[in-house]
């Protein structure tokens, strides 16, 4: 009996080497401990063992069975490891450089922002930035925007809770903080720091309460422009925007000014442009900017001499321009980070 047991165990150890799959393992187990298995047969032989030897033989058979069971579970573990390794593919060395490398590329909105900035840089504008969290003073009061203006409505604007106030950033301690609704706030920040003449543009992110659809997003980007010197007129403003739009969209592009109202400019205009880019959109004119001659009340707020200086300001949406340049019909694509969309603009 002992000899037979030893021989079964030895052969089992040898046979285990050939077990590679779950099916192999099942067949292997059946051969040893199945109803007609070798060990099962040996156990059935217990009936013929003399009574006094039974406890010892029984103990040995149980030991043998346990040995086989641990052999089976070791084999199963090995099979499971192989299975998961097959699922994961070849081993990865995390210390190696990423194989999919490449330097990546700029987001289409960043590309258009850079392009716009470079057009203005060529004619002497420098780029300044301001914070996205603003106070009502910079965003509205100093821009001659009264407290009953719709942009100051809680429904239109993201105000920060009382608890989020930090420091005394502006002149009024009691005012509220908000996510800036436009980049015009940077005009004020820049003029308070810099005596005239000034010639700056300021790109950045803005926020308004808006239900997202193909043309609206609660988060969007603008570029603000400000030019202050002696004897600045609407003619200079029109010339600059004509230059801008022709550089960006080609020689056939034209602008047109429509009278409008902004609290911080007088007179104020909305600017439309027309170019061959619009043919595919099936329209002649598209609005791209608001602008005007800086209101004297704004100069008063920043301590500029309203008699000596004049200036113009403008603001335009970066998304709008990117959509026209690239022929994109839904603003939401810009924010979804879908690689299939972004790759089309890689350069």
Interacting span for ligand DAH (CB under 6 A) from 19-27, 34-42, 122-130, 287-295: 287-295
Nearer to ligand DAH, 264 or 333 (CB): 264
By CB under 6 A, residue 290 contacts ligand DAH: yes
By CB under 6 A, residue 185 contacts ligand DAH: no
Among positions 265-284, residues that touch ligand DAH (CB under 6 A) are 265
Among positions 298-337, residues that touch ligand DAH (CB under 6 A) are 313-315
By CB under 6 A, residue 120 contacts ligand DAH: no
Structure tokens at 149: 């203006």
Structure tokens at 233: 């007129």
Q: How far is the CB of 154 from ligand DAH (least distance, A)?
A: 18
The Cα 258–Cα 32 span in angstroms is 93
The Cα 247–Cα 228 span in angstroms is 23
Where is 259: in which H helix or E strand?
A: strand 254-262
Give the three-class secondary structure for 190.
Answer: helix
The Cα 123–Cα 199 span in angstroms is 9
The Cα 71–Cα 28 span in angstroms is 11
By CB under 6 A, residue 108 contacts ligand DAH: no
- With CB under 6 A, what is the number of residues at the site for ligand DAH? 11
Where is 207: in which H helix or E strand?
A: strand 198-207
Nearer to ligand DAH, 138 or 314 (CB): 314
By CB under 6 A, residue 291 contacts ligand DAH: yes
Give the three-class secondary structure for 290.
Answer: strand
Q: Contacting ligand DAH (CB under 6 A), which of 144, 157, 184, 310?
A: 184
By CB under 6 A, residue 145 contacts ligand DAH: no
Torsion sign, CA atoms 283, 271, 321, 276: positive
Nearer to ligand DAH, 67 or 270 (CB): 270
The Cα 58–Cα 85 span in angstroms is 41
Give the three-class secondary structure for 91.
Answer: coil
DSSP lists the bridge partners of residue 140 as: none
Q: How far is the CB of 330 from ligand DAH (least distance, A)?
A: 21
Nearer to ligand DAH, 5 or 318 (CB): 318
Q: How far is the CB of 84 from ligand DAH (least distance, A)?
A: 56
Interacting span for ligand DAH (CB under 6 A) from 41-49, 132-140, 193-201, 290-298: 290-298
By CB under 6 A, residue 152 contacts ligand DAH: no
Give the residue among 119, 89, 74, 95 at the shortest CA–CA distance from 245.
Answer: 119
Q: How far is the CB of 270 from ligand DAH (least distance, A)?
A: 8
Nearer to ligand DAH, 196 or 292 (CB): 292
Nearer to ligand DAH, 31 or 205 (CB): 205
Among positions 225-264, residues that touch ligand DAH (CB under 6 A) are 262
The interface mask with ligand DAH, positions 64-103, x = CB under 6 A, is ----------------------------------------
**Number of alpha helices (DSSP H) and beta strands (DSSP E) in the chain:** 11, 9
Phi, psi of 187 (to 5 degrees): -55, -50
Where is 236: in which H helix or E strand?
A: helix 234-249
* Residues with Cβ within 8 Å of residue 234, at least 6 apart in sequence: 257, 267, 293, 312
By CB under 6 A, residue 224 contacts ligand DAH: yes
By CB under 6 A, residue 292 contacts ligand DAH: yes
Residue 176 and residue 136 in contact, taking contact as beta carbons nearer than 8 Å: yes
Q: Contacting ligand DAH (CB under 6 A), which of 29, 180, 182, 320?
A: 182
- Positions touching ligand DAH (CB under 6 A) are 182, 184, 224, 262, 265, 290-292, 313-315
């Amino acid at each position: 009996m002992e000899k037979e047991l030893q021989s079964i165990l030895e052969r089992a150890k040898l046979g285990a080497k050939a077990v590679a799959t779950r099916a192999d393992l099942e067949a292997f187990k059946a051969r040893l401990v199945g109803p007609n298995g070798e060990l099962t047969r040996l156990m059935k032989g217990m009936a013929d063992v003399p009574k006094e030897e039974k406890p010892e033989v029984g103990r040995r058979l149980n030991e043998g069975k346990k040995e086989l069971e641990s052999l089976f579970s070791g084999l199963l573990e090995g099979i499971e490891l192989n299975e998961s390794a097959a699922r994961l593919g070849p081993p990865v060395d995390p210390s190696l450089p990423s194989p999919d490398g490449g330097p990546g590329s700029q987001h289409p909105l960043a590309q258009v922002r850079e392009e716009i900035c470079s057009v203005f840089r060529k004619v002497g504008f420098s780029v300044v930035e301001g914070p996205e969290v603003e106070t009502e003073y910079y965003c509205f009061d100093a821009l001659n925007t009264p407290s009953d203006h719709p942009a100051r409505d809680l429904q239109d604007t993201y105000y920060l809770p009382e608890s989020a106030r930090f420091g005394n950033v502006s002149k009024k301690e009691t005012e509220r903080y908000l996510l800036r609704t436009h980049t015009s706030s940077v005009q004020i920040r820049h003029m308070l720091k810099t005596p005239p003449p000034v010639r700056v543009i300021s790109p950045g992110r803005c926020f308004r309460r808006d239900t997202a659809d193909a043309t609206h997003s609660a988060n969007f980007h603008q570029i603000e422009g400000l030019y202050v010197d002696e004897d600045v007129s609407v003619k200079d403003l029109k010339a600059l925007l004509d230059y801008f739009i022709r550089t960006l969209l080609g020689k056939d592009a034209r602008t047109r000014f429509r009278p409008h109202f902004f609290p911080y400019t007088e007179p104020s205009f909305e600017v439309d442009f027309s170019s061959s880019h619009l043919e595919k959109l099936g329209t002649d004119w598209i609005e791209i900017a608001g602008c005007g001659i800086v209101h004297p009340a704004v100069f008063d707020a920043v301590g500029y001499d309203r008699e000596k200086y004049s200036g113009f300001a403008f603001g335009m949406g970066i998304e709008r321009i990117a959509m026209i340049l690239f022929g994109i019909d839904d603003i939401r694509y810009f924010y979804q980070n879908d690689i299939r969309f972004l790759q089309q603009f890689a350069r």
